[in-house]
Structure 1
Amino acid sequence: MFEQFAFYFPAKDVDKQIHLYLPDNYEESKEHFPVVYMYDGHNLFFDEDATYGTSWGLLDFMDSYDKQVIIVGIECSHEEGERIREYCPYPVDTQYFGHVAGYGDVYMDWLVNELKPFIDDNYPTIPDREATAIAGSSMGGLMAFYSVIAHNDVFSKAGALSPAFGFAVPELEAEIAQHEIDPDTRVFFSYGDEEVNFERLKPTATFNDAIIEAGGETHVHIEEGGDHSEATWRKQNRLYMDFLWK
């Protein structure tokens, strides 16, 4: 099943469109399900909604996947430059974008303290940390990793696909130093082999090591023939889902 609805984001006085996947039998089964919160919700399910005409194909994938989970996709802002600010956890100065007045920390406080309780109250979720994951790509991948560090009491799993770590490497290193990471933490990192280089892999190796040193589990995947696109992330649906949940 698939639902869409608007949910108010007070920090910007706007409604965020929520793209919600539910297992088909959830009403009849009376079961409760794990949840994956995902960034760029409009790119997840339908090609006609996706920014560049290709989605992650998650509706078809989840309908055939042998692990039943709820997916909460949160659509990003489409105003010029706003997605970068909303998906950057900190105010930062960058080489290519100049100063980015990032407010991803505020966004995540809203997700954790307002959106998640609403989802837990209105849908058959398992609200516990062990059954709550977060995932995204590019800036959403950056945010997914930030989320599992800064809110490790809420999220036990993260999928960071093609994460844009270059925006905030020292800030993320400081974030990791400030938090105790639960050993029951799993993080999936990935890049396409056509986009990856040493500059991208160096911070990924640092963050990967930090999770392992805390006793957590990680997986770094390089997608052969992959680039920085939904088509590449779509190919990895089973990989990151299997690693996070199995």
Structure 2
Amino acid sequence: MKRTGIVFVLALLFSIGITLVKDDPSPTGQGQSGGFFVHYEEFSSDYIEPRPVDVWLPPGYEKNLDKSYPVLYMHDGQLVFKKSTSPYTSFWYKPFDWYIDGVFWETDIIMSRLIQQGQIRPAIIVSIWFKKGNRGIEFMPQKPITDVPHPQWSIDGSQYMASDVISDRYLKFVVEELKPFVDRNYRTSSDRENTFIMGSSMGGLISAYAISEYPDVFGAAACLSTDWTHGDGAEISWYEEHWPEAGVHRLYFDYGTETWDAPFEPYQKKMDSVMRQHGYVHGVDWISRKFEGADHTPKAWRERLHIPLTFILGY
């Protein structure tokens, strides 16, 4: 499969003495607090439309040549990193008001700080951009829609008709195309215990679905402000019979109490019951947290991002 990387090697990289590793793609820029990016403008796929993908390599990656790293896959890649260091530099698509505010997760900044403080293991971040107009149909869990009857899934004109959803294809892209590419081109620890996935809102939905569909691939999933409200939470019922075993996986869920998050609590409590049913122990291999006053924005997720990162990457 053809992969086209847009390469802008900044003079700054050479001035600080970064040594490029043979067979590793070239860096496109350095974050303010360490680490650097590789940006693929058109990552092709047999399953979904091509889209940009960014890879963030943690501080020390270019020097510790014998070291392999865990990998965290994140959705909504346009918002994952700090604006000034992110390869996402133009607002060609603003589907929500919070794009206008220029608020980003700043995952590179938070990761670098936690690594420096010794709270987490250094890890590679792979951020997958969503394609304009496709976010909902790629993130809405597919089998819960086709297997759990609900009027919303079949009403003409409803937000997500069963025939339109392509999240199974999206996950095949991640697991069968993107992950093998990352494992070939970077020094990764590619086993389940070192492969994680994270997202917010519908990105939380697809992260939960990913670990359910591919329990041998993903060892942990972090789902922030998971929007279980679609179909009045009908997809949660599907997880009662389709959830990965406790003891070898870790799950993080949270929600706020304001704006879009306001109705989430009863749905998350229902999902918490599913976790208990499958033997998960809260605080050990599963966390579910409520954040009073938090709303449904990247700013809110950024402010608590250190919590799921520490849970899945902590020593």
Q: Please report the TM-score for the alignment, with normalisation by the length of structure 1.
A: 0.89
Q: Which residue of 1 aligns with 2:149?
A: none
Q: Which residue of 1 aligns with 2:105?
A: 56
Describe the superposition over 1:124-169 as per-residue Cα deviations: whole angstroms up to 9, x where unpaired. 1110101111000111011111111111111111111111212253
Determine what percentage of the aligned residue pairs are the same residue: 29
Contact 2:56 2:125 in 1 (8 A): yes
Q: CA deviation at 1:175?
A: 4.4
Contact 2:243 2:278 in 1 (8 A): no
Equivalent AA in structure 2 for residue 73 of structure 1: S
- Which protein has the larger Cα radius of gyration, Structure 1 or Structure 2? 2
Q: CA deviation at 1:182?
A: 4.4
The 1-side partners of 2:265 and 2:279 are apart by 21
- How large is the RMSD of aligned CA atoms in angstroms? 2.2
Q: CA deviation at 1:113?
A: 1.0
Alignment counterpart, residue 268 of structure 2, candidates 179, 204, 216: 204
The structure-2 alpha-carbon separation of the partners of 1:87 and 1:26, relative to structure 1 and needing over 3 Å to count, comes to same
Q: CA deviation at 1:97?
A: 2.2
Alignment counterpart, residue 234 of structure 1, candidates 272, 291, 302: 302
Equivalent AA in structure 1 for residue 297 of structure 2: S
Describe the superposition over 1:87-108 as per-residue Cα deviations: whole angstroms up to 9, x where unpaired. 1122534796263621111110
**Is residue 17 from structure 1 mapped to residue 52 from structure 2 by the alignment?**
yes
**Is residue 192 from structure 1 mapped to residue 227 from structure 2 by the alignment?**
no
Equivalent AA in structure 2 for residue 71 of structure 1: I
**Is residue 221 from structure 1 mapped to residue 297 from structure 2 by the alignment?**
no
Equivalent AA in structure 1 for residue 290 of structure 2: I
The 2-side partners of 1:176 and 1:26 are apart by 41
**Is residue 149 from structure 1 mapped to residue 149 from structure 2 by the alignment?**
no
Contact 1:208 1:218 in 2 (8 A): no
The 2-side partners of 1:238 and 1:24 are apart by 17
The structure with more strand, counted as a fraction of residues: 1
1:132-171 equivalent positions in 2, closer than 5 A: 132-167=195-230, 169-171=233-235
Range 236-245 or range 119-128, more displaced:
236-245
Contact 1:87 1:143 in 2 (8 A): yes
SS state of the match for residue 43, structure 2?
strand
Q: CA deviation at 1:34?
A: 0.7
Q: Please report the TM-score for the alignment, with normalisation by the length of structure 2.
A: 0.71
SS state of the match for residue 78, structure 1?
coil
Unaligned 5+ residue runs, structure 2? 1-35, 146-152
Contact 2:239 2:274 in 1 (8 A): no
Q: Which residue of 2 aligns with 1:36?
A: 72
The structure-2 alpha-carbon separation of the partners of 1:172 and 1:102, relative to structure 1 and needing over 3 Å to count, comes to farther
Q: Which residue of 2 aligns with 1:114?
A: 177
Q: CA deviation at 1:171?
A: 3.4
**Is residue 243 from structure 1 mapped to residue 311 from structure 2 by the alignment?**
yes
SS state of the match for residue 141, structure 2?
coil
Describe the superposition over 1:186-245 as per-residue Cα deviations: whole angstroms up to 9, x where unpaired. 111111221444x52233223223233333322122223211100000011111111122
Contact 1:146 1:172 in 2 (8 A): no
Aligned length: 242
Alignment counterpart, residue 126 of structure 2, candidates 64, 72, 75: 72
Unaligned 5+ residue runs, structure 1? none
